[in-house]
Amino acid sequence: MRDKGIRTRERVLAGATEIFHRQGFSGTSIHDLIRVTGVKKGNLYHYFSSKEEMGLQVLSRARDDFFRFLENSLQGDRPSVQLANHFDSIIRYHESRNLVGGCIFGNTALEMSDRNDTYRDVIHSVFEEWRRRIRDVLKSAVRFGEVRKDLDPEAMARNIVATVEGGIMVARASRNPADLKACLAVLAGILGIDGETVTHGGKQTG
């Protein structure tokens, strides 16, 4: 594919990502995609064989972006700081979007998991990697004595992912980031990390 074709394909994917995020897969028509991307229908099908294939590429791209988000947000010189920074990064991301769209993975899980196994597999891989990364940080927190010794990192990691997803959904419905902050503050309290940083922002380094 030549440079112009690559740029066009990337522009289509960027536009499709935003509209799928806001409207969902079923709620987005080919006409919506043409309007958002500025690409004619014939050209859309030149780059993607179907709307389903385009949606899969959007999900795969979003997955890669989210894995980079995990890498960048789980930073700090102690496990508790890494978790606090991760929670704060989640809040700042959704505030930057004014809560519009919520979580593309949670949205698509609700919409497509019972209808398309390929989509479901991508979403499952996202949640599993997120859980694994959190679990590993929690294992370190137990080892360094930052959380109670009887904490089950595996179970707690699953609870964190589920609570964050639920908090995003509730905050999206209320259009109030305080609902997401409250969920994350409860998690911070259970873990014994700095809830003030989580709910009021401000990256920790130590």
Residue 42 has what pLDDT?
85
Classify residue 17: in a domain, yes or no: yes
Q: How far, CA to CA in Å, does 138 sit from each of 49, 163, 178, 180?
A: 43, 16, 25, 21
Q: How far, CA to CA in Å, does 205 sit from each of 48, 82, 124, 202?
A: 44, 9, 31, 10
The whole-number mean pLDDT for each consecutive block of 10 residues of the chain, a chain of 206 residues, reads 77 92 92 90 88 94 97 96 96 96 96 96 98 98 94 98 98 97 94 64 45
Residues 17, 104: one domain? no
- Domain that residue 169 falls in: 56-200
Residue 37 has what pLDDT?
87
When divided into structural domains, the chain yields a total of 2
